[in-house]
Structure 1
Amino acid sequence: MNWYEKLNQYFPIEEMKSKAHMEALLKERADIYHKDEGKHHVMMYAELNDFIFIDYIFVSKDARGEGLGHKLLEKLKKKGKPIILEVEPVNYEDTDTEKRLKFYQREDFKHADTIGYERRSLATNEVNKMEILYWAPNDESEEHIYEAMKETYNMIHTFKDKELYGESYQPVSEVLSLDMEGKNKNIFDELS
């Protein structure tokens, strides 16, 4: 099974980029977009000057509990930049969502509870709500994380979208929001 099939089997369709999209990023944005692949893992990430965005991280069931996810994150943490990623809200019918969140909580990630993120999927046409998690080695603010997410959305998520999908994703102003007063519920508070 190739790297794309592994990701495609694990991540919901509404979160997946097409293989052509990821291959275009790897080829045309090779300066920032990277694939770290091994027998039991695939990690797709973008490294910019002042942050890292993990697009996808997959560890096979065969290797779970062996510390592979921790090692992959440690490799990125050594770069000393904030690390940002998107996760699904807790879904009690899918036990993986809670396990995933507990993993990131153990890895010292915080929930960006001032950042709202809702995007219409080009695959399903349904609006998808995601949560933003981040690791901040220098106590970077959520405003900093928000700006980094806007950059990620424009450089990575919508890269050649019209050409690759036949239509464009919504503009970043409709997808991401920052509300410093009315914080959302902290996703880690929902864990049992």
Structure 2
Amino acid sequence: MNWYEKLNQYFPVEEMKSKEHMETLLKEKGNVYYKDEGPYHVLMYAEFSNFSFVDYLFVSKESRGMGLGKKTLQMLKDKNKPIILEVEPVNYEDTDTEKRLRFYAREGFEHAASIGYCRRSVATGEENSMEILYWAPNGETEEDIYEAMKKAYKDIHSYKVEELYGETHEPVSKVLTYKEVDKENVLEPFTNQIAN
């Protein structure tokens, strides 16, 4: 199974970029967009001067518990700049979402509760709400993360969308919002488990 098939099998259709989109990013934005893959993992990420953005992280079920996800993230943490990623809201009927959030809480990620993120999927046309998680080694604020996420949306998610899919992405101002009033922290239940 190739890297795209692994991602496509794991991530919901509404979250997936087309293979052509990812290959275009790798080719035309190769100074920013990268693929790190091995037999049991695929990491697609963008590295900007002041943050890293995880587009997709897949670790195969058969290798879970072996520390592969931790090692993969450590490569990005070693760069000593914020790491930003999107996750599905917790769904207690889908144990994967819970495991994913528990993993990121263990890895020291925080929930950007003041950032709202909802975009229309180019694959399904449906609205897709996601949560933003971040790791901030130098005390970066949620406002810093919001600015970085806007850049990731414009430079990665929206790159050549009209050319590749025949439609435009919604403007960043419609997709991302910043409110001082915090939503519920989706990592709190898992952070509390780690502390106990």
Q: Name the residue aligned to 1:161.
A: 161
SS at match of 1:187: coil
TM-score for the superposition, normalised by structure 2: 0.96
Q: CA deviation at 1:188?
A: 1.4
Q: What's the secondary structure of 1:23's corresponding residue?
A: helix
Q: What residue is the counterpart of 2:187 in the other structure?
A: 188
**Which secondary structure does the structure 2 equivalent of 1:99 belong to?**
helix
For residue 187 of structure 2, give the secondary structure of its aligned residue in structure 1: helix
Structure 1 outlier segments of 4+, above 2 Å? 189-192
TM-score (norm 1): 0.98
Specify the SS of the correspondent of 1:86.
Answer: strand
Identity between Structure 1 and Structure 2 (%): 65
Corresponding residue number in structure 1 for 2:32: 32
Q: Secondary structure at the match of 1:8?
A: helix
Matched residues in 2 for 1:190 and 1:103: separation? 12
Report the CA distance between 1:189 and its aligned residue. 2.7
Aligned-pair distance for 1:141? 0.5
Partner of 1:48: 48
Corresponding residue number in structure 1 for 2:14: 14
Unaligned runs of 5+ in 1: none
Q: Distance in 2 between matches of 1:96 and 1:173?
A: 30
How many residues are treated as equivalent by the alignment? 191
Partner of 1:122 in structure 2? 122
Aligned to 2:84: 84
User: Aligned equivalents of 2:169 and 2:32: distance in 1?
Assistant: 21
Inter-partner Cα distance in structure 2 for 1:61 and 1:188: 22
- One-letter amino acid of the counterpart of residue 84, structure 2: I
- The CA RMSD measured in Å over matched residues stands at 0.9
The one-letter code matched in structure 2 to 1:173 is S
Shift of 1:190: 4.5
Secondary structure at the counterpart of residue 54 of structure 1: strand
Matches within 5 A, 1:67-146: 67-146=67-146
1:47-104 CA deviation, whole Å, 9 max, x = no partner?
Answer: 0000000000000111000000000011110000100000000011110000000000
Q: How far, CA to CA, are the matches of 1:169 and 1:121 in structure 2?
A: 9
| Amino acid aligned to 2:127 | V
Q: Quick one: distance in 2 between partners of 1:112 and 1:41? A: 26
Matched residue SS, 2:84: strand
